[in-house]
Amino acid sequence: MPKTPFYITTAIDYPNAKPHIGHAYEKIVADMIARWHTLQGEDVFFLTGTDEHGQKIEKAAKEAGKTPKHFVDDMSAHFQKLCTALTLSNNAFIRTTDKKHVKTAIEILKKVNSKDNVYFGTYEGLYCTGCESFKTEKELKNGLCPDHLKAPEHVKEESYFFKLSKFHQQIKQHIEQHPEFIRPESKRNEILQRLQEPLQDLSISRANFTWGIPVPKEITTTASTKKHIIYVWFDALLNYISGIAYPTKKFQKYWNNAHHLIGKDIAWFHTVIWPAILLAAEVPLPKTVYCHGFLTVDGQKMSKTLGNVVDPMAVIEKYGTDPLRYTLLRDVPAGQDGDFSEKTLIARNNSELADALGNLLQRTTVLIQKNFHGNIPVCGTLTEKEKSLEKSIPDLQELNTLMEKYQWHHVVEKVWNYINACNKYCNDTEPWKQTNDPERLATILYTLVEHLRMISILTWPVTPASAEKIACQIGQPLGKLKDAKFAKKTKGTLAQAQILFKKIEQKTVSPSLLAIAKTTGQQPTVNSFAMLNLKVARIEKVENHPNADKLYVLTLDAGERKQIVAGVKQFYKPEELLSKQIVFISNLKPAQLRGVESQGMMLAAEKEGVVRVLEAPNAKPGEQVFVEGITPAAQQITIEDFQKVTITTKDKKAAYNGKPLQTKTGTIYVDIADGAKIK
């Protein structure tokens, strides 16, 4: 049977400056999606590239003392190097100066024109060179472009127009009838709201600069005597079909299952203008346009214009590719904004990559080399501990469903919960103490190797280089998703143990990674709330503390089983707490409280002797609690660290610095008066 085609694209990057961490983020997410579908056995085509025409490029080239072509050749090379450094699996890198793209752009414009969808006229409006687009008064904030914080120019010029208005109802109907076309749902609702107003026809040519694809003479013969070039957005969007050789069999193969991954700021172009162009050219629409959030620095959008840019090549050179990939995929919730933090990257590398994944491989390899001459031992009788660990293997159908819904960060979380379960199994079975029972030792070590084999598969879309090293070290091929199930007859010889991830010394933010002070005068700061990793948990069991009259011992479902000690006995009966969806600190250092271990702390608000717990009734156990613009930490903290954070209540919501605590399903609720302190 032929493989199912799957086509994934990023937005093509504007190379008027070197790439920043936001470019890396989008490419890493797209690569995870591409690799996941490859693991499913699909025929994947992954396209990325650069958008090389327009007034902004012409201006940047002039400032650099270069011709536009020389300038984009140099700058595009930086983006191609980034793709290599990120270990992307892209099949092609499209440039809009490529001859095949220029040919496609001209062909499509001719076709759109032949269907009576183009006319000549005069345009007058506000033009933002940074966005390469006209702006309405409604789109401006205090008269400024919200993305570039500059006032647009008032422009009046002759232009060729595309009859965008003609396709208004058809586009609106398509969005309404295909919920998967625009994701996440919040962006879909926003676009539908904008479509309540009539669409204006789109200016698709420029005559006040020259760097672009000329409007074909078949269109210009009866109109302007000026030389017009194709508007950069009409030109750029066509890369998605020129990159797969429109209109050949290759295009026909992949386009039927096309998916675009883009930044939320260009959603209108991709969900309204792009569909209209395709409809006018009689080309089917893509399946999905997914709009991801921005990376921020101290809550501010990261951009070259504002100057708060992090250089991804410097991050990779200093820390490696997989730690960067893992941190961005784990830290930034799908469809939402998130901070990039060097401190968080170090913490995640040391805790979740080096300690959890790397140490698991190291311990297993060393013990097999020592006790079985490097050969995978024969599996003996499986006990309840092995069977329990097998149940922790992530459900593949659930993972596939999450990926189909573009919830990649939850997939990463579930895979690392599984890795943590493997470490717990290793600690509980203590294979280093089983040398007097060779069969039991063999079974434990076989179990660990077998789970490492599955881990190599499941981590490949996230940290591909280390996943391949794991497979190589345990002497196994890198399998497909269907192979991620426990087998009792795996054979092979392990290579000598090697360190998978090196520990990184915790330091302050490196100046080499940031370019902030030159243009904004800002310096990176550490946010106290960022120390907290708050999660939702469902209370499954409420028991009296055996050694303290005022304490409960709570058993929680937080995506994994947790036990905490809570001092709320005088305020809640057991039945009042049972099944509540509460918020707890998941990264608090475990502590013995009156002889019982507490693996976190439940948050509650207190005012004038009244205490109420924080609740998230609509969230799922294990769901992240966050404040917009602040990335949760990974490293453990102490109760003293938590006491430095001030969280209060307003309008029955928990808030930090005026911003609500929330999950992806809503804000955190607490039934208490305003101004209560949360402890």
Are 327 and 280 contained in the same domain? no
Are 354 and 272 contained in the same domain? no
CATH number at residue 30: 3.40.50.620
pTM of the full structure:
0.75
- pLDDT given at position 124: 78
pLDDT in tens, 124-178: 778 777 666 667 777 777 778 776 567 888 777 899 999 999 999 999 999 999 9
- pLDDT given at position 139: 73
CATH number at residue 412: 1.10.730.10
Question: Is the residue at 154 inside a domain?
Answer: yes
Are 177 and 132 contained in the same domain? yes
Question: Is the residue at 313 inside a domain?
Answer: no
In Å, how far are 5, 151, 200, 264 from 135, measured between CA atoms? 38, 10, 12, 17
- pLDDT given at position 510: 53
Are 559 and 444 contained in the same domain? no
Question: Is the residue at 222 inside a domain?
Answer: yes
Are 376 and 269 contained in the same domain? no
CATH number at residue 574: 2.40.50.140
Helix extents (H) in 150-304 = 168-177, 185-194, 217-220, 232-237, 239-242, 249-255, 267-268, 274-280
Question: Is the residue at 235 inside a domain?
Answer: yes
Are 286 and 328 contained in the same domain? no
Are 89 and 45 contained in the same domain? yes
Pick the last residue of a domain from 251, 277, 292: 292
Are 455 and 592 contained in the same domain? no
Are 418 and 559 contained in the same domain? no
pLDDT score of 512 more than 70: no
Domain that holds residue 559: 528-678
Question: Is the residue at 304 inside a domain?
Answer: no
Q: What is the mean pLDDT of residues 442-471?
A: 98
Are 545 and 614 contained in the same domain? yes
**What single DSSP character describes residue 6?**
E
pLDDT in tens, 400-449: 999 999 999 999 999 999 999 999 999 999 999 998 999 999 999 999 99
User: Residue 15 burial by CB count (10 A; 0-12/13-18/19+): exposed, middle or buried?
Assistant: buried
Pick the last residue of a domain from 273, 292, 311: 292
**Which residues are catalytic, by number?**
20, 23, 128, 131, 145, 148, 301, 304
- pLDDT given at position 516: 32
Q: How many CB atoms lie within 10 A of CB 653?
A: 17
Longest dimension (CA), the chain: 93
Question: Is the residue at 505 inside a domain?
Answer: no
Are 353 and 428 contained in the same domain? yes
Are 597 and 451 contained in the same domain? no
Q: How many CB atoms lie within 10 A of CB 429?
A: 21
Question: Is the residue at 523 inside a domain?
Answer: no
Query: What share of the chain in percent tops pLDDT 70?
Result: 92
Helix axes 21-39, 312-319, angle to 10 degrees: 70
Q: How many domains does the chain fold into? A: 3
Question: Is the residue at 317 inside a domain?
Answer: no
Three-state secondary-structure class, residue 633: coil
